[in-house]
Amino acid sequence: MKTGVIGCLNTKNIGDYIQTLAVIKLLESDYKILDRESLDVYQEKPRKVIINGWFMENPTNFPPSRNLNPLFISFHISPAAANKMLTNKTINYLKQHQPIGCRDEYTQRLLEKHHLKTFLSSCVTLTLHKKDFINSSYRENRALIIGAFDRLKPNIEINKGFYKMLISAVKSPYKLLNYQTKILFFNRWLKKQNLKLDFANQIVENKISSHTEGIKLAEEVLRKIANSDYVITSRIHSALPAVAMGKKVIFINEGLDNVNHSARLVGLESFFTSIKLKEIRMLNFDSIKTDISHKIYSKKIIEIIKAFLNE
């Protein structure tokens, strides 16, 4: 049976396609990338599909088509989508395909409340290998900064109703000042470090319009990670690939207070050094150790996916 992997059209987050690419690297057969938000309307020939990642923008578009035979691994349900997504129909569907491999402890607890069998799989991006992305541009003592303060940028919520738009507009000047102050503090600290600096973004300005574009952007970010020694980020799917590649990772834990953000970290934060910005001046790069505890999870993910494909 042919294989499907999950992509996410119209996202601005390259992290969605970093997760897609991590699955593709584990496949030995032909595959097709299927859009995460429209799995329910798949009408082609039956296909195995590895369902991982963040679910979902359109929770009423779940569960997937009966023509898809799923393996749930590295699966996360957004708190914002949970109530609409976890209908009796979806719960019964998940029971047919349990145990469900959960990316984080939040999702695991959520599903267990509905009497589903689960296990903590962690994230499939932990299976990525440095050798697949490193190239001749590598230089020692290089730090890569990827969206270290993305979540602190002020945003007027024009698409979420008049009340939320008004509140976000009122708060915007304070948030802008806070953002600019922390960027200034961070940049002063960076200048004092004896490091070569490189920068990347995990969030793009325009929505990703094709799976080909998404994979290309993911490869570009992963090459930058592979060719660095240190990664400083507030993005989970830059931090976890860096951990997988043996990099020293500093995770800036700012702007993650909302449950929709913090839930994604539960059970993953132990893989990297997580700090608030005010703690960074006390940070000693030499004291940061590369993590190996993730290897238990990456090995299990590989074994489960290969067994599923060989069934």
Do 207 and 185 share a structural domain?
Answer: yes
Do 6 and 141 share a structural domain?
Answer: no
Strand 248-252 to 230-233 pairing: parallel
Cβ-contact 9, 208 below 8 angstroms:
yes
In which domain, by residue range, is 262 found?
130-294
Do 139 and 267 share a structural domain?
Answer: yes
Do 209 and 102 share a structural domain?
Answer: no
Q: How far does Cα 31 stand from its chain's mean position?
A: 21
Do 170 and 266 share a structural domain?
Answer: yes
Q: Which pair of tokens denotes residue 149?
A: 């303060």
CATH number of the structural domain spanning residue 157: 3.40.50
Do 160 and 61 share a structural domain?
Answer: no
Q: What is the CA radius of gyration of the chain?
A: 20
Number of domains in the chain: 2
The alpha carbon torsion through 66, 68, 72, 73 (nearest 10 deg) reads -170
Q: Please state the pTM of the whole predicted model.
A: 0.92
pLDDT at 56: 96
Do 145 and 261 share a structural domain?
Answer: yes
Nearest Cα neighbor of 49 from 87, 7, 104 is 7
Query: What DSSP element (H or E) covers 274?
Result: strand 273-275
Cβ-contact 27, 306 below 8 angstroms:
no
Q: Which residues sit opposite 114 in a β-bridge? A: none
Do 282 and 138 share a structural domain?
Answer: yes
Q: Show pLDDT as tens, one digit a residue, over the chain (311 residues).
A: 799 999 999 999 999 999 999 999 999 878 999 999 999 999 999 999 999 999 999 999 999 999 999 999 999 999 999 999 999 999 999 999 999 999 999 999 999 999 999 999 999 999 999 999 999 888 888 999 999 888 777 665 666 666 666 666 666 777 777 788 888 889 889 888 889 999 999 999 999 999 999 999 999 999 999 999 999 999 999 999 999 999 999 999 988 888 888 899 999 999 999 999 888 888 888 888 888 999 999 999 999 999 999 98
pLDDT at 281: 81
Do 303 and 282 share a structural domain?
Answer: no
Cβ-contact 127, 302 below 8 angstroms:
yes
Do 305 and 265 share a structural domain?
Answer: no
Q: How far does Cα 26 stand from its chain's mean position?
A: 17
Q: How far apart are CA 148 and CA 249, in angstroms?
A: 12
Q: How far apart are CA 57 and CA 206, in angstroms?
A: 17
Buried b (16+ CB within 10 A) or exposed e, 212-225: ebbbebbbebbbbb
The single residue listed with the structure tokens 């997760």 is 19
Q: How far apart are CA 303 and CA 219, in angstroms?
A: 24
Cβ-contact 120, 293 below 8 angstroms:
no
pLDDT at 136: 86
Q: How far apart are CA 307 and CA 231, in angstroms?
A: 33
Q: Which pair of tokens denotes residue 274?
A: 């997580």
Do 253 and 135 share a structural domain?
Answer: yes
Do 258 and 232 share a structural domain?
Answer: yes
pLDDT at 43: 95
Helices within the chain (DSSP H only): 14-24, 79-85, 88-96, 105-112, 162-191, 211-226, 236-244, 259-262, 295-310
User: How is residue 60 annotated by DSSP?
Assistant: G
